[in-house]
Amino acid sequence: MHNPLSYPKSSLSFFSPPLTMTRQSKPWRPFTANCCSAEDQTIFRNFSRCRPSRSEFSKNIAPLPSFRKLSYSDLSRSSSTRINEDLAQSFGSELYDFQLSELRAITQNFSSNFLLGEGGFGTVHKGYVDENLRQGLKAQAVAVKLLDIEGLQGHREWLAEVIFLGQLRHPHLVKLIGYCCEDEERLLVYEFMPRGSLENHLFKRISISLPWGTRVKIAIGAAKGLAFLHGAEQPVIYRDFKTSNVLLDSDFTAKLSDFGLAKMGPEGSNTHVTTRVMGTYGYAAPEYVSTGHLTTKSDVYSFGVVLLELVTGRRSMDKSRAKSEQNLVDWAKPYLSSSRRLRCIMDPRLAGQYSVKGAKEMALLALQCISLNPKDRPRMPAVVEGLERLQHYKDMAVTCGQWPASPKSTRNGISTKSKMGSARVNGNHRKSSPITPTRKT
């Protein structure tokens, strides 16, 4: 049956869990299947200490509720009734406590016709609520995430999303509307993001290529979301920043989603948080992978990888390519500091319709973000400022004679043709056929 929604079932366009370190095939699964360790069981205590700073990126946070000590270990051992009571007391009217029967009704019993996507965590369905469902809840489309709870880890990630998104409010964070905890069932209800994920727009053959200006806008929005998280008095480390977790509304406003792996940052004189390595291979910072030391600069590295994906149109990891090209960071690094070389790795689907100056500055910013030394990476507010400067450049490569009409030959995926310029046919620029990335298998 044809799916009336614009989201392909083959890949999750709403919330995707982390891939394994060793493969990128479905079903998506976390790095580790172990239950959370003792140090993870206390990360939710005294969450009210995460207060907004005076940074401009924290202006839009909602007033934080007055919390009891929400202990993950305590809630994990509690019945669903006790969990609901604790969450209701903590969040009050900030979040709706839905009944499973209500969520079945708004999704037509989780009909396959309303399926937005699926992965190792379970499924996400589109639903419709009207103003009569709950007092104060406006009629709208929603996304209902039905978690496949297998042991403690699934419950932990559900609880993390409720606690983090229940308190954090910002234009560039997806809005959590409510939750459901009945017996063994764990569900989350979010605002519906009609344009799906950045991943789908960059890498799916069926999608129209994102214009350069839209890519810049998305990068700015995502950067503001991270800057907001990092700007709290006790920073929130996102830990799984990637294209599938950047969602887009109808105006291509970027919003960060999936806070199941988010973690509170270091306190006091501590410089990092030591934790199990979890995230997505290809995006995770190398020092975090090797040591388990997590900082906000780990998020900055991941953001740099996504900037490279926006520039090149390639995935962070692509096993279908030649071995030397599978890791995007390793492959792209030699081309980022030279304008002449950079044009060789620009996304062919842009067809020259990108700012030469803007692409150069974005590439240099990405290079700083993926520095092997975390101290050399910029902070997210500086990244936001750097990206905002790119919005007004109009020097399109195709009109500046810096886009090839067609490549004669390639070596390692790079055009070896040096002649630039474009021929005109019927008043239009002739360009090579767009090269679409290989679909993830």
Active site residues: 240
* Structure-derived torsion over alpha carbons of residues 392, 398, 401, 404, reported in degrees to the nearest 10: 140
What is the DSSP secondary structure assignment for residue 47, as one 8-state letter? G
The helix/strand/coil state of 188 is strand
Q: How far apart are CA 29 and CA 8, in angstroms?
A: 19
Give whole-number Cα distances, 367 to 45, 305, 314, in Å.
Answer: 37, 9, 16
| 346 within 8 A of 312, measured Cβ to Cβ | yes
The answer to whether the Cα torsion of 258, 200, 128, 175 is positive or negative is: positive
CA neighbor of 13 nearest in space, from 171, 243, 316, 227: 243
84 Cβ contact partners less than 8 Å away, ≥ 6 residues apart: 97, 181
Other C-beta atoms lying within 10 Å of the C-beta of residue 276: 14
231 Cβ contact partners less than 8 Å away, ≥ 6 residues apart: 52, 53, 55, 57, 58, 380, 381
386 Cβ contact partners less than 8 Å away, ≥ 6 residues apart: 361, 365, 378
| 61 within 8 A of 52, measured Cβ to Cβ | yes
Q: How far apart are CA 318 and CA 327, in angstroms?
A: 7
CA neighbor of 241 nearest in space, from 203, 210, 284: 284
